[in-house]
Amino acid sequence: MAMKLGNTKTEREFREQMSASKEALLFDRSCARLRSAIEAHYADFESGCVLHWTEEQCEDIFVLLVNGPKLMSVELDRFEESTPPVVESISMAEYRKGLKKINQIRLAVALEVISE
């Protein structure tokens, strides 16, 4: 069930963030490791954006929307670039379960941005 979007300040801010994330994933050198992890899992990677980024003590954990409605989590070691990433697919139903309204809006905006 898709959430109906308007043109609220929050949605505009999310749209700006998701558009920047989409561009960075595709073209920014600083995203090369993350892009490689995505491409290893989805050889047909065309577009994506980061929904959430968690900085842990030893790793960065990303939840991404990829190629439209596909979700994945990627964990990158912060200190050892040679350590293989931990990649998991996430079902949309599982991700949406218990999602707070603000994150429902973030997801709806991200789905819109990815389809552009």
Question: Tens of pLDDT along 21-76?
Answer: 999 999 999 999 999 999 999 999 999 999 999 999 999 999 999 998 899 999 99
Residues near 65 by beta carbon (within 8 Å), at least 6 away in sequence: 48, 49, 51, 71, 107, 110, 111, 114
84 φ, ψ (degrees, to nearest 5): -60, 145
pLDDT of 116 reads 79
pLDDT of 8 reads 87
Q: Is residue 115 pLDDT above 90, yes or no?
A: no
Better-scored residue on pLDDT, 116 or 15: 15
| Chain mean pLDDT for the chain | 91
% of the chain residues with pLDDT over 90: 82
